[in-house]
Structure 1
Amino acid sequence: MTPTPHLAALAAAAALLFMLGGLLVAEAGAADNDCAVAQTAFGDCAGYVAGVENKLSPRCCRALADIRDMAPTFVRQRALCACIHKEMVAAGKVVTRRAAALPGRCGVRISFLPTTHNFDCSRIPRAD
């Protein structure tokens, strides 16, 4: 029996859906990995932001630059903001002025860093 054009088109569509599904799963896995990396990196700033450490470490500033570089789009910025925010809330105390001053003190332009427990990452504007 010879395959009909409909069966060939159906097979091609199924293959395309399978490939797209794999890409979506890979992207979700990458996003989860980026979240864990961002949370770990921000851990270098946690003591300073909580007011436990008086000196800002160079590692914290490098971590901020790394986090910024992980989020080239506003969608990624919102996602990483939410990850870091979750980490901040779990850690407890946040000295707002210290969190807000981090980018300037480190010389790192990063606009999506949460600065308070009630920071709303969904309000990060589109940059494009």
Structure 2
Amino acid sequence: MAEGNTPKDVAVRYIESFASGDPETVAANVTEDFVNNQSGALGKGCETRAVYRERLKGFLGAFEGLQYEVKDVIEDGNKVAITYQMRANSDGHSIDIPGVMVIDVRDGLVAERQDYWDGLTFLQQTKQA
């Protein structure tokens, strides 16, 4: 696999693309048949790039200045696990939430992701719990 296009590179590039705030930029990193699994109690998964792109509009709009700080990356074949710290402003509240994504890479794009994040911390930081 060419340098810059290893599964690790693809996964990190995908996570970093959220800082663009642009649904098209983020969606360009996933396959047409992308599967987005959300393990957080507050998350909702979806399938296909087209549906994901539409969902991203609301997600990115709700998290001003969204950035994922990559902490640790573990690569095993086409599967990559990344621990992260998600930071943004949501409805006037600063949020700082830990999480883990497990990403499957196929043909240089993200084919599936499993996102594990702390919904209770989100609710506490946004004064909803």
Q: Same fold (TM over 0.5)?
A: no
Higher strand share: 2
State TM-score, norm by structure 1. 0.25
Higher helix share: 1
Q: Rg bigger for which structure?
A: 1
